[in-house]
Amino acid sequence: MNKRAMSMVAIAAAATMLVSSCGNGSSSKGGDAQSVVDDKTGFASYTGDPQKGGVVEVLGGVDFSHLDPAMGSDGNVLNLYNLLYRNLTQYKYDRESGELELVGDLAEDTGTSNEDATEWTFKLKEGITFEDGSPITAEDVKFGFEHAFDPSLAIGLDYLQNYVKGAKDYEGVFEDPEGLDSIKVVDDRTITIETNKPMADFPNVVATAPGAPFPKDKVTKVDQIQKDPISSGPYKVDEYKRGESLTLVRNENWDAETDDIRPAYPDGYKFTVSLDQNTIDQRMISGQGDDANAVSASTNPVVAANLAKITQDPKLSERTVQSMPSCNYFMVMNNAKEPLGDKKVRQAINWAVDKSSVVNASGGPQLADVAPNQLLPSVPQYDDTDPYATEGNTGDPEKAKAMLKEAGAENLKLTMDVRALPMWQAQAEAVQQSLKKVGIEVKLNVIDQAKFYEVLATPSQQNELAITGWCSNGWFSGEPLLGPLFDGERITKTGNLNQSQIDDPKLNKALAEAAVMPDLDDKTAAYAEINEQVLELAPVVPLVRPRPLQLVGSNVGGAFANPSKTGYIDYSQLGLLKPEG
């Protein structure tokens, strides 16, 4: 039997990445707790030790996409899910050492596999309950998985569907209440899951949001969790006014003794989701009244216009947290729409884009780096390979025009889908100007923030181009960064993450083979080669790796950049320095 027989890539990679992010800081007093300012960035790497009590407020301008964890995939909603739901495993980040470790969450440990890693067994902890106090059993875990596989819900992260045997063809818990034979309830506290291929990294897969448990006897409609979430985490929904606010209160039946990942300092959270960007920045900068107890949402980081004000004021800098580079932003080119099915056209567009202008649109070099490819510096497979590199990252319009002429694709008119957020729109406008220089006219189709990912994940609704992003949520490997985006076998009618719709047999085969490799060195070499294949096929244009800023109220502790929360502040670690204040 192989105990913890998975790649611990996430731990080693994150530790390496964080050496410069969390060390060598200077301290300043914040209430009775220590806040730490990073000497290299000048921003806070930690805002002090929180105390129990009070309410943390989160100021944002984007509503949550979905309350059902089967359906959401953006970083902001995944951060919320961590307050409401638990999984078999989860990532635990040690801020001081920089270690990111996969640990048991609902399970006692990270599982045990058979010899070829096609069957995984998890033993649940004692004392774990739902918000009504009823125990969480292996039957509830099975039901939660199968709930997530329902075709009408499966629009979120697709890892479980891709690896659990039979999940892709499962019709859902209401069409097939007997469930999947591949998920076996051994007893109340033991569950065994079969995978459709050897999967040494499966403990990372069950840490993803769709694996949250739900009580079979209390879920009677397929859309019930979306409207009425059932919590297994430290907080539960008290009130939700869609488009306005979401209020969480303590789940009194959550047992802290069973959970060493979420400290649950505050008595509750209030998320305001209806503010414009300027209002958020101004309120957070002034920090008056209840705003001293607030943070800016990850969807609404500080705009570049306010950067100088923050960097020139030490008091503002020491309550500003800079995210880690855990995300790639890129432009999708829809291969299903001509002439983007032609590789030469896609390569020409890669040559055309002035990435330096996209960096500037993202706030400048202090807030973003050029992305040479789709991997992150924190994964073992990474190198800075970029076959489209140009001096100053300004692109090569003349080469692009020549390639477009050769392909018979001059004077194109394309539409680009873009999320209605200031930075994303600025990035889209920068790309629009680059493509104009090579004779491509681009119309921007701005989509409501909360609906954007759902539209983009529905091939029938996609346009030719889109600006989007993809992040690591703790699993630092080539599989989560490349597999969902470029495997043609994973294209679906809804919930589609391969939004370029690239379907190349050689690439599909390489991804399938790499996913099952047990040897880390072999896996590393395979994904490095796959990264080069993706660049040559050019289904996307890698643009930037943002490092945005989030402002933190003067009375908020526990704020730091967490690599398992797409590099942003982890809501579950926050609390007030002086709850009585």
Average pLDDT score over residue span 415-422: 93
Residue type, 29: K
- Find where tokens 């989160």 sit: 58
Q: What's 114's DSSP letter?
A: -
User: Which helix (H) or strand (E) segment is 355 a member of?
Assistant: helix 355-361
Strand 368-370: give its sheet, edge to edge: 368-370, 540-546, 327-333, 465-471, 413-419, 441-447
Could you say which DSSP state residue 124 is in?
Answer: B
Q: In terms of DSSP bridges, do strands 190-194 and 183-187 run parallel, antiparallel, or are they unpaired?
A: antiparallel
> Residue 32, exposed/middle/buried by CB under 10 A (0-12, 13-18, 19+)?
exposed
521 or 12: whose pLDDT is higher? 521
Backbone angles phi, psi at 199, to 5 degrees: -140, 85
Residues 6+ apart with CB under 8 A from 429: 361, 444
Looking at every residue in the chain, the average pLDDT score rounds to 91
What pLDDT was estimated at residue 1?
Answer: 35
For residue 24, pLDDT over 50 is answered with no
Give yes or no for a contact between 347 and 428, defined as CB atoms under 8 angstroms apart: no
Q: How far apart are CA 522 and CA 530, in angstroms?
A: 12
Q: What does the pLDDT average to over 209-221?
A: 96
Can you read off the two tokens belonging to residue 329?
A: 């932003």
Peptide bond into 339 cis (omega under 30): yes
Task: Enter the DSSP assignment of 304.
Answer: G
**Model confidence at 8: pLDDT above 60:** no
Contacts 24+ apart (CB under 8 A), 385-390: 385/531, 385/532, 385/535, 386/535, 386/542, 387/535, 387/536, 388/347, 388/350, 388/351, 388/535, 390/351
Q: Residue 335: pLDDT band by 50, 70, 90 thresholds?
A: very high
Q: pTM for the complete prediction?
A: 0.88
d(CA 346, CA 449): 27
Maximum mean pLDDT: which of 10-19, 160-169, 247-256: 247-256
pLDDT at 2 > cutoff 50 = no
Helices within 487-574 (DSSP H only): 505-515, 520-537
Check residues 34 and 219 and name the one with the higher pLDDT: 219
- Tell me which of 100 and 40 has the higher pLDDT: 100
Give the confidence band of 156 by pLDDT, cuts at 50, 70, 90.
Answer: confident
Between these two residues, 578 and 376, which has the higher pLDDT value? 578
Q: What backbone phi and psi angles, to 5 degrees, belong to 523?
A: -65, -45
Q: What pLDDT sits at residue 421? A: 86
Q: How confident is the model at residue 23 (pLDDT cuts 50, 70, 90)?
A: very low
Q: How confident is the model at residue 34 (pLDDT cuts 50, 70, 90)?
A: low
Q: How confident is the model at residue 433 (pLDDT cuts 50, 70, 90)?
A: very high
Handedness of CA 567, 572, 578, 581 (dihedral sign): positive
Lowest mean pLDDT among 97-101, 241-245, 309-313: 97-101
CA–CA gap between residue 63 and residue 61 (Å, rounded): 7
- pLDDT, one tens digit per residue, over 452-466 is 988 999 999 999 999
Answer yes or no: is pLDDT of 18 > 50: no
Cα dihedral 124→125→126→129 (10° resolution): -80
Domains of the chain plus CATH, in order, are 2-269+549-576 (3.40.190.10), 327-546 (3.10.105.10)
**Distance from chain centroid for Cα 125:** 27
DSSP, res 510: H
Query: Residue 19's pLDDT is what?
Result: 31
Residue 418 has pLDDT above 70, yes or no: yes
Q: Is the CB of residue 84 less than 8 Å from the CB of residue 102?
A: no
Q: Report which secondary-structure segment, H or E, holds 406.
A: helix 397-406
Looking at residue 56, the DSSP 8-state letter turns out to be E
Cα 81 to Cα 236: distance, rounded to the nearest angstrom: 10
Backbone angles phi, psi at 439, to 5 degrees: 85, 15
What are residue 34's DSSP bridge partners?
Answer: 29
pLDDT at residue 4 tops 60: no
Task: Measure the CA–CA gap between 431 and 347, rounded to whole angstroms.
Answer: 15
38-42, 133-137, 272-276: lowest mean pLDDT where? Answer: 38-42
**Token pair recorded at residue 202:** 């499966």
Q: pLDDT per residue over 458-515, tens digit each? A: 999 999 999 999 988 778 788 889 999 999 999 999 889 999 999 999 999 999 999 8
H-assigned helices in 85-166: 138-148, 159-163
